[in-house]
Amino acid sequence: MTSASTNDIEFRSVAKRYGSVTAVSDINLAVPQGAFVALLGPSGCGKTTCLRMIGGFEQPSEGMVYIGGQPMNGVPAYRRPVNMVFQQYALFPHLDVEQNVAYGLKQMRPRAATAEIVRRTQEALEMVRLGGFGKRRIHEMSGGQQQRVALARAIVNKPKVLLLDEPLAALDKKLRTAMQIELQSLQRELGITFLLVTHDQEEALSMSDLVCVMSTGRVVQMGPPQEIYDRPASLFVADFVGKTNRIAATIEPGAGSVRLANGVGLSKPARANGTVGAAMVAVRPEAISLVRNGTATLQGTVTHRMFLGSTVEYSVEVEGLGDFLVTADRRNESELAEPGERIGLNFDPNAMHVFPA
């Protein structure tokens, strides 16, 4: 197949089983060259197993894994043109920063010249802004600095693909945001493919060109971040990526009408497919606006208010439908609704995502 040559990584019908436990099954995945791709999913969804099969630490039970068009089944980790930033970094504690970064260069056969090793090590350290830290020992570095050492160590060999296994999970929120930006610019600078594994949907959406959402060992949706967020392919994706309100409903045939569980009828959104019968409707909290008077789609009572600075999150109880989460933009609604207040909820029927129940 020729398509493999333009994809840095390709999975064809890959499955991985441990005894009777299936970690992933029927994974088909194509990571285009030079892309920043995130494997997103809850813990245990198989995303790390996929990453480890690319790194060469696991072999698929079924199917083929390709890197740069080459089949990789049976190829050991040390012969693969990929490098990995490990969770918790896995830096060598007996080596200093410089020796850690140079480790990969020293494995090259034929051996690289010492001057070349020194030059490329320094270059990699500069790239992660650790210029003067070469002689430090690992335990003298902070978590954020260790993260950078791990990055420098992984990019020094100029891999085809850089694998990142939850690289930011151990950092505090502020540092994490800074590293997100840095990872993005590093990827553009290097021009190599980044494949990131994360359970943090915000991280996946903000950094990557393509998000691959996984659940129980399968790929459930793959696409650009906006597409994943705006057009979730399933209720799972709608729930897992961003926040969502789930409403039980019935789709009436022909009439093009969505009947919510409390009896309110709405026109069917334009992109809803031919689902008929029991369904689940998903609406994003920011798609709903609160109205004090006049007609509203639904009526409810404010039960909780969470002030988040630029936005306010309300929990609104609607009779017969349960609690709704509503995010209000403070530019539009300067006056805050009070808990206990009766309030109307309005949303465009086209903001609804309809899934078969």
Partner 1 sequence: MRAAMNTKRNLVTAALVAPAAAWLTVFLVLPFIAMLVFAFGERAPEGGYQVAFTFAQFANLPTRAAAFWNTLLLAPTGALLCLIVAYPVAYYLAVKANPRYRLILVSLVVVPFWTSLLVRTYAWMYILGSRGIPNLLSMIGIEDVRMLNTPGAVLLGIVYGYLPLMIMPIYVSLERLDRRLLEASADLGAKPVSTFFGVTLPLSLPGVMTGVALVTILLLGEYLIPQLLGGGKVFFIGNALVDLFLQSRNWPFGSAIAVTLVAVVVVVLMVAMRIAWRVAGTRQVDLV
Structure tokens at 4: 């493999």
Region binding partner 1 by CB under 8 A among candidate stretches 80-88, 127-135, 219-227, 239-247: 80-88
Strands lying side by side in the sheet with 70-71: 21-32, 7-18, 62-67, 70-71
The smaller minimum CB distance to partner 1, of residues 135 and 304, is found at 135
Is 91 or 213 the residue whose CB approaches partner 1 more closely? 91
Q: Tell me which DSSP letter residue 191 carries.
A: -
Token pair listed for 24: 């992933």
Nearer to partner 1, 57 or 229 (CB): 57
Nearest to 68 by CA among 186, 155, 159: 159
How buried is 25 (Cβ within 10 angstroms: 0-12 exposed, 13-18 middle, 19+ buried)?
middle
Say what angle helices 97-106 and 114-127 make with each other, to 10 degrees: 120
Q: Is 57 in the site for partner 1 (CB under 8 A)?
A: yes
Instruction: Kindly indicate which of the ranges 70-78, 226-234, 235-243, 266-274 contains the residues binding partner 1, using the contact rule CB under 8 A.
Output: 70-78
Question: Beta-carbon neighbour count of residue 304 at 10 Å?
Answer: 12
Q: How many residues bind partner 1 (CB under 8 A)?
A: 26
Whole-number Å distance between alpha carbons of 46 and 33: 23
Among the listed ranges 87-95, 195-203, 271-279, 307-315, the one in contact with partner 1 (CB under 8 A) is 87-95
Contact between 127 and partner 1 per CB under 8 A: no
CB 122 within 8 A of CB 134: yes
Contact status, residue 82 vs residue 67, Cβ threshold 8 Å: yes
Nearer to partner 1, 84 or 251 (CB): 84
Cβ-based nearer residue to partner 1, 94 or 173: 94
Task: Determine contact, residues 166/87, Cβ cutoff 8 Å.
Answer: yes
Decide: is 90 part of the binding site for partner 1 (CB under 8 A): yes
Binding test (CB under 8 A) with partner 1, winner from 48, 49, 83, 215? 83
Q: Which residues contact 108 (CB under 8 A, 6 or more apart)?
A: 157
Toward partner 1, which CB reaches closer, 79 or 174?
79
Strands (E), 33-178: 36-40, 62-67, 70-71, 82-85, 161-165
Within residues 129-158, the interface with partner 1 by CB under 8 A covers 137, 153-154, 157
Q: Does 307 sit near partner 1 (CB under 8 A)?
A: no
Site for partner 1 in 95-124 (CB under 8 A): 103-104, 107-108
- Shortest distance in whole angstroms from residue 105 CB to partner 1: 9
How far apart, in Å, are the Cα atoms of 140 and each of 13, 74, 154, 168? 45, 38, 20, 19
Among 94, 173, 174, 331, binds partner 1 (CB under 8 A): 94
If you count them, how many residues does the chain have? 357
Q: Which is nearer to partner 1, 91 or 326 (CB)?
A: 91
Using CB under 8 A, which of the segments 89-97, 209-217, 241-249, 346-354 binds partner 1?
89-97
| Interface of this chain with partner 1, residues 278 to 297, rule: CB under 8 A | none
Does position 55 bind partner 1 by CB under 8 A? Answer: yes
Q: How far is the CB of 152 from partner 1 (least distance, A)?
A: 12
Tell me whether residue 75 or residue 264 sits nearer to partner 1 (CB atom).
75
Binding site for partner 1 (CB under 8 A): 55-57, 76-79, 82-84, 86-88, 90-94, 103-104, 107-108, 137, 153-154, 157
